[in-house]
Amino acid sequence: MGWLAALLTQILHLALVLAAAPLVVGGIRWLKARMMGRQGPHPLQPLRDLAKLLRKRPVLAETASWVSRAAPYLGAAAALAALALVPSFARGMAFAPLGDLVVIAGLLALGRVAMALAGLDAGTAFGGLGAAREMSFAAIAEPAFLLAVLSFAILAGTTGLEPIGALFQEGSLGLRVSLGLALVALLAVAVAENARIPVDNPATHLELTMVHEAMLLEASGRHLALWEAASALRLTLWLALLSAIFFPFGTAPAGFAPLGWLLGIGAWVGKMALLCLALAAFENAIAKMRVFRVPEFLGTALLLGLLGALLLFLSTRLA
């Protein structure tokens, strides 16, 4: 019975996040437009775009190899696999034992490498430029992420996502500066990983300022659809990760509990909507920074993670 509930939770979770991913992207776009006083595209527009792209005939560059064809599937699979491990509305999912933060970082790296290789495959100038920048920025974002993970590991004694979420939900930790710093660091990493303003502009059409989009210039048809889906899934993943760690309120406990699940789904949708709103407001309030300011930005996130761990030693030593 227990495993059945776990499996059911997992399937529901997958369905939920798959439905949420295009809505998150479309919702943020719509909110941003509304805040700027524009009408904005319909929130479901990304879904329509995906459906359209899937029907189109992909055109591969003559110089492209099988890497261009295989990488989109790998990228989407990595994002989806990582998202399957991050709890949304309930604990005790079938894949919960796999949900480790370091593993999630590894899966994200897998998706990133797949995308960088796809960008390099056709041998064009912009693809290589985007790949070089993406990998270089990740070189600083990854340690920042792991330092934030260190703070959780010190508090929870593990890097497992579920124990961390359960501990934070219990609330015995209180408010902690280190957690705040870890949150700031994670936010900066999330912004960089998802190619959002101020690090990158998801709506840019100027190749020289692109990071993420520059690698996808040669993709078309279903390959482009898969890349777009992967980036939507990654954005959903980061928002879900933030809400699973920092705002685990309302998450249903493990086991078969339809009412708790309903409440959990409601709470999760609410949290995700709030995070989308915050992201949209943030993006509207800030301008894109120069590419070579990005290392400084991410370096600051890294240092904040470091500071968080230091302050955690301070407070754990006091008790």
Partner 1 sequence: MSFGSLPYDIAHLLGGAVLLMSFVLLYQRRLEAVIGAFAVQGALLAAAAFWQGFAQGAPHLYVTALLAFGAKALLIPLALRIALRRLGLHRTVETALGVGPSLLAAIALVGLSVLVVLPATAGQAQALTRENLALALSVVLLGMLMMIARRNAISQLIGLLSLENGLILAAIGVQGMPLVVELSTAALVLMLALVAGIFVFLLRDRLATLDTGDLARQRGEGEAP
Partner 2 sequence: MVEPLLPGGEPAILLARVPPRIPAVLTALLLTLGALGLLALAAVPLARFAWGAAVVHGGVLAAALALAGLGLAGLLAGAMPPAALPLSVPTQVAVDALSAWFLLVVGLAATCSALFALAHGARLAPRLLAAYPLFLAGMALALVAADGFTLLLGFEAMSLASWVLVAADHAQAENRRAARLYLAIAVFGGICLVPAFGLLAGVAGDISFAAIRAAPPAGWTAAAVLALVVAGGGAKAGLVPLHGWLPLAHPAAPSHVSALMSGGMTKVSVYVLARVLLDLCGPAQPLWWGVPLLVLGAGSAVLGALRANLETDGKTLLACSTIENIGLICMGLGLAAAFRAADLGVLAALAAGAALLHALHHALFKSLLFLGMGEVLHAAASRHLDRLGGLIHAMPWTAGAVLVGVGAAASLPPLSGFASEWLLLQALLAAWRVQDLAFQVLGVAAVAAAALAAALAAAAMVRLFGLAFLGRPRTPRAAGAQDGPWLARAALLLPAGLTVILGLLPGPMLDLAQGAVQVLVPLGMAERGGMLAVRVGDGGARYLPLAIAALLAAMAALAWWVAKRRAPASVRGPAWDCGFMPPPPHLPFGDPATQPSAAGFGQPLRRMLGGTLLAAREAVAMPPPGDPSPARLTASFADPADGWLLAPLARARDALAARAERLRGLSLGAWLMLPFATLVALLALAAWVGG
Count of residues binding partner 2 (CB under 8 A)?
90
Is 254 near partner 2 (CB under 8 A)? no
As given in the structure block, the two tokens for residue 24 are 């998150």
Measure the CA–CA gap between 39 and 20, rounded to whole angstroms. Answer: 22
Task: Decide if residue 306 touches partner 1 (CB under 8 A).
Answer: yes
With CB under 5 to 8 Å by kind, the binding choice for 33 among partner 2, partner 1, none is none
The sign one gets for the Cα dihedral 202, 206, 210, 215 is positive
Q: Contacts with partner 1 in 157-176 (CB under 8 A)? A: 172-176
Nearest 10 degrees: Cα torsion 136, 138, 144, 149: -150
- Of the candidate residues 38, 173, 266, 313, the single one contacting partner 2 (CB under 8 A): 313
Told to check if 225 binds partner 2 by CB under 8 A, we report yes
Cβ pair 75, 223 in contact under 8 A: no
> Phi and psi (nearest 5°) for 143?
-60, -35
CB of 99 to partner 2, least distance (A): 9
First-to-final CA distance of the chain: 42
Contact 199, 192 (CB under 8 A): yes
**What mask of x and - would describe binding to partner 2 in positions 42 to 81, judged by CB under 8 A?**
------------xxxxxxxxxxxxxx-x--xxx-xxx-xx
- Which partner from the list partner 2, partner 1, none does 218 bind, CB cut-off 5 to 8 Å by kind? partner 2
Distance CA 54, CA 52 (A): 5
Q: CB 177 → partner 1: shortest distance, Å?
A: 3
- The answer to the question of residue 277 lying near partner 1 (CB under 8 A) is no
CA distance 255 to 153: 26
Burial (Cβ within 10 Å: 0-12, 13-18, ≥19) of residue 29: buried
In the complex with partner 2, which residue's Cβ is closer, 20 or 31?
20
Smallest gap from residue 315 Cβ to partner 1 (A): 6
Query: Does 139 interact with partner 1 (rule: CB under 8 A)?
Result: no
Residues 6+ apart with CB under 8 A from 100: 85, 159, 160, 161
- Indicate which single residue of 30, 89, 145, 246 sits in contact with partner 2 (rule: CB under 8 A): 145
Q: Which does 284 bind (CB under 5 to 8 A by kind): partner 1, partner 2, none?
A: none
Comparing CB distances to partner 1, the nearer of 259 and 287 is 287
Q: Which of 27, 93, 142, 246 binds partner 2 (CB under 8 A)?
A: 142
